């Protein structure tokens, strides 16, 4: 694998949330016809989603957790391609790759390393903190390791650091939301 | 072997290796800085992060806290050295900092460990004329609390100390070789000698007519605004003298003068070219050693 192939694989599972041709943020095709993104990206009840190949589908928000900053959308017709997540330990210094649409640039890849994993302040929630350049539009998109496995959902930038919600938290949220929506 | 994966593993291993000698330094309000256990019992950190001289606390890579004492400072390089009982914490494994070249991949570490990666972007700092070989400009982010931490090569060897500089917006690495020299002096003499003239200067523009009349290439120089009694400068300089050059090297501002005052030049004779009453004079001086601060 190199950055190009990791990026190509991630592009397959990264979607755009769009409104009037404007890119609101990124999302991950977590399972067939299901998309995970940040709650702050999926602000409404419905959203238009577009895949890298241009296919579009309308989704609706089935679950939202504002505190966790996660949202799950049901997107009938979006199709297959499910994300491969990794919930194991991340070593500080190991490579990470982000995919998303920073400032409206579609399918942009950025590379960096794991800065630390843990809360920003004692007692806070656990973040994957990455030394990696994110911009508005990356929100909701995947952060992956050198194998291309998704380790988190990019959520915000603070003090120049990229913060991602760990895959463990995303899995728990998505599983719970899918179960209760059935 | 998957090259990307191999690189990823190497970087993570480098963080672990260098992190074994990494300390948090609690010597300023709010964010602690970082330090490196350089030699058994001696921690090196960034001088600008050590606000107090006494009652310092450090936290080792094992999470254990210990009290530390300041044993020396080098404000010019932005280094401070602390003495500590390091217990089982090993000293850092140092790399050959002369082998570091522009474009080399490097990591900066902060206590935690936290990590940042990038490349060496230039030898020397900011402007080439200040670019003495001691400093490296880094293309990486020094996050809050990183100053004083190690600059690490891809093998995990410590090749320098990072600092955001006195102005706190730079990304600098001080080569390990230079740090080693400072620590050597401290261990041998019990202090860090600093070259000293005993003047305070400010940058001034040279008036254009004067510049043309005297055929000066430089547009700026440094005016003497203060001379300390009994200092090397007192032997020949006067307040109001405009320092044009030292041994032929132009002194366009106080930083240039600081660049001349290198520790290995203590005791050397220099010729200071000054502008005094619109005439150029050569003033011979001897670089001295900064006296100990009164306590």
Looking at the structure, do residues A76 and A7 belong to the same domain, yes or no?
yes
Tally the C-alpha atoms within 13 A of residue B121's C-alpha that lie toward its C-beta: 14
Full DSSP string of A107-144: TEEEEEEEEEEE-SSTTS--EEEEES---TT-TT-EEE
| Per-residue confidence (pLDDT) for residue B53, from 0 to 100 | 85
Looking at the structure, do residues A35 and A72 belong to the same domain, yes or no?
yes
Looking at the structure, do residues A101 and A44 belong to the same domain, yes or no?
no
How many angstroms separate the Cα of B230 from the Cα of each of A25, A147, B93?
67, 67, 43
How many angstroms separate the Cα of A107 from the Cα of each of A41, A49, A128, A129?
17, 14, 21, 21
Interface predicted TM-score of the whole assembly (ipTM), two decimals? 0.91
| Per-residue confidence (pLDDT) for residue B183, from 0 to 100 | 93
Looking at the structure, do residues A79 and A133 belong to the same domain, yes or no?
no
Options B33, B34, B74, B78, the catalytic residue: B78
Looking at the structure, do residues A42 and A101 belong to the same domain, yes or no?
no
Q: Using the 3D structure, point to which of A50, A83, A116 is the last residue of a domain.
A: A83
- Check A161 against B143: CB less than 8 A apart: yes
Looking at the structure, do residues A110 and A57 belong to the same domain, yes or no?
no
Tell me the average pLDDT across A21-47: 94
Average pLDDT over chain A, rounded to an integer: 94
Looking at the structure, do residues A9 and A77 belong to the same domain, yes or no?
yes
Q: Using the 3D structure, point to which of A83, A117, A149 is the last residue of a domain.
A: A83
| Per-residue confidence (pLDDT) for residue B128, from 0 to 100 | 44
Any domain includes A90: no
Q: How confident is the model at residue B33 (pLDDT cuts 50, 70, 90)?
A: very high
Cβ count near A159 (within 10 Å)? 10
- Give CA–CA dist B152/B170, Å, rounded: 18
Is there a catalytic annotation at residue B78? yes
Contact between B92 and B176 under an 8 Å Cβ cutoff? The reply is: no
Is there a catalytic annotation at residue A46? no
- Check B7 against A95: CB less than 8 A apart: yes
Q: From the centroid of its chain, how far is CA B135?
A: 7
Residue of B nearest to A91 (CA): B12
Q: How confident is the model at residue B295 (pLDDT cuts 50, 70, 90)?
A: very low
- Give CA–CA dist B96/B103, Å, rounded: 16
Domain residue limits at A33: 3-83
DSSP-derived 3-state class of residue B18: helix
Q: Using the 3D structure, point to which of A83, A115, A133 is the last residue of a domain.
A: A83
Counting beta carbons within 10 angstroms of the beta carbon of residue A147, is it exposed (0 to 12), middle (13 to 18) or buried (19 or more)? middle
CATH of the domain at A134: 2.40.10.10
Q: Is the pLDDT of residue A63 over 60?
A: yes
Three-class SS string for B223-265?
EEEEECCCCHHHHCCCCCCEEEEECCEECCCHHHHHHHCCHHH
Closest approach of chain A CAs to the CA of B143, in angstroms? Answer: 8
Closest approach of chain A CAs to the CA of B113, in angstroms? Answer: 7
Q: Is the pLDDT of residue B168 over 70?
A: no
Q: Is the pLDDT of residue B262 over 90?
A: no
| Per-residue confidence (pLDDT) for residue B22, from 0 to 100 | 98
Contacts of A73 (CB under 8 A, 6+ apart): A27, A34, A35, A36, A37, A42, A47, A49, A59, A60, A61, A62
Taking CB atoms and an 8 Å cutoff, what residues of chain B touch A147? 2, 5
Tell me the average pLDDT across B16-34: 96
Any domain includes A179: no
Q: Which of B42-51, B132-141, B144-153, B281-290 has the lowest mean pLDDT?
A: B132-141
Any domain includes A9: yes
Q: Is the pLDDT of residue B96 over 70?
A: yes
Three-class SS string for A1-29?
CCHHHHHHHHHHHEEEEEECCEEEEEEEE
Considering its fold, how many domains does chain A have in total? 2
B177/A79: higher pLDDT: B177
Q: Is A147 left (phi over 0), alpha (psi -120 to 50) or beta?
A: alpha
Any domain includes A177: no
Counting beta carbons within 10 angstroms of the beta carbon of residue B239, is it exposed (0 to 12), middle (13 to 18) or buried (19 or more)? exposed
Any domain includes A176: no
| Per-residue confidence (pLDDT) for residue B166, from 0 to 100 | 63
Taking CB atoms and an 8 Å cutoff, what residues of chain A touch B13? 93
Q: How confident is the model at residue A24 (pLDDT cuts 50, 70, 90)?
A: very high
Residue B4 is nearest to which of A6, A115, A131, comparing CB atoms? A6
Any domain includes A89: no
Average pLDDT over chain B, rounded to an integer: 91
Looking at the structure, do residues A70 and A19 belong to the same domain, yes or no?
yes
Looking at the structure, do residues A13 and A74 belong to the same domain, yes or no?
yes
- Give CA–CA dist B53/B73, Å, rounded: 10
Looking at the structure, do residues A63 and A119 belong to the same domain, yes or no?
no
**pTM, rounded to two decimals:** 0.84
Closest approach of chain B CAs to the CA of A164, in angstroms? Answer: 16
Any domain includes A31: yes
Any domain includes A181: no
Looking at the structure, do residues A8 and A70 belong to the same domain, yes or no?
yes
- Report pLDDT digits (tens) over A150-179: 999 999 999 899 999 999 999 999 999 988
Among A5, A9, A93, the residue to mutate for chain B (most B Cβ within 10 A): A93
Looking at the structure, do residues A106 and A58 belong to the same domain, yes or no?
no
- Report pLDDT digits (tens) over B232-259: 999 999 999 999 999 999 999 888 888 8
């Amino acid at each position: 694998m190199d950055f190009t192939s990791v990026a190509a694989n991630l592009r397959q599972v990264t979607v755009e949330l769009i409104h009037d041709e404007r890119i609101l943020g990124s999302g991950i095709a977590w399972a067939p016809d299901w998309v995970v993104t940040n709650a702050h990206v999926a602000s409404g009840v419905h959203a238009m989603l577009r895949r890298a190949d241009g296919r579009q589908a309308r989704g609706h928000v089935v679950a939202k957790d504002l505190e966790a900053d996660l949202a799950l959308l049901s997107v009938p017709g979006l199709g297959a391609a499910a994300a491969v997540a990794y919930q194991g330990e991340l070593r500080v210094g190991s490579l990470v790759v982000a995919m998303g649409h920073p400032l409206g640039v579609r399918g942009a890849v950025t590379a960096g390393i794991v800065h630390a994993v843990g809360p920003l302040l004692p007692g806070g929630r656990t973040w994957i903190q990455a030394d990696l350049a994110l911009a508005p539009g990356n929100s909701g998109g995947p952060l992956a390791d050198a194998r291309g496995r998704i380790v988190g959902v990019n959520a915000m930038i603070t003090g120049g650091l990229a913060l991602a919600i760990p895959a463990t938290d995303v899995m728990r949220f998505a599983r719970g939301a899918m179960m209760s929506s059935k | 072997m998957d090259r990307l994966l191999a690189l990823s593993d190497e970087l993570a291993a480098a963080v672990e290796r260098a992190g074994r000698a990494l300390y948090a330094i609690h010597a300023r309000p709010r964010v602690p800085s970082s330090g490196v256990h350089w030699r058994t019992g001696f921690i090196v950190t960034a001088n600008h992060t050590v606000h107090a001289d006494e009652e310092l606390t450090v936290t080792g890579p094992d999470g254990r806290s210990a009290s530390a004492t300041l044993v020396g400072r080098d404000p010019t390089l932005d280094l401070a050295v602390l003495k500590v009982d390091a217990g089982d914490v090993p000293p850092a494994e140092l790399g050959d900092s002369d082998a570091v070249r522009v474009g080399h991949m490097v990591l900066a570490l902060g206590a935690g460990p936290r990590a940042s990666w990038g490349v060496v972007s230039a030898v020397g700092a900011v402007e080439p004329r200040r670019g003495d070989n001691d400093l490296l400009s880094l293309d990486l982010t020094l996050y809050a609390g990183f100053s004083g931490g190690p600059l690490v090569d891809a093998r995990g060897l410590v090749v320098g100390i990072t600092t955001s500089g006195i102005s706190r917006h730079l990304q600098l690495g001080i080569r390990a070789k230079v740090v080693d020299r400072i620590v050597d002096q401290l261990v041998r003499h019990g202090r860090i000698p600093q070259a000293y003239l005993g003047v305070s200067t400010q940058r001034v523009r040279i008036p254009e007519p004067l510049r043309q009349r005297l055929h000066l290439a430089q547009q700026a120089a440094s005016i003497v605004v203060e001379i300390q009694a009994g200092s090397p400068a007192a032997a020949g300089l006067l307040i109001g003298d405009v320092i044009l050059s030292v041994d032929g090297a132009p002194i366009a501002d106080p930083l240039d003068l600081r660049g001349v005052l290198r520790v290995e030049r203590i005791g050397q004779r220099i010729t200071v070219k000054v502008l005094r009453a619109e005439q150029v004079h050569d003033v011979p001086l001897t670089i001295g050693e900064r006296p100990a601060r009164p306590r």
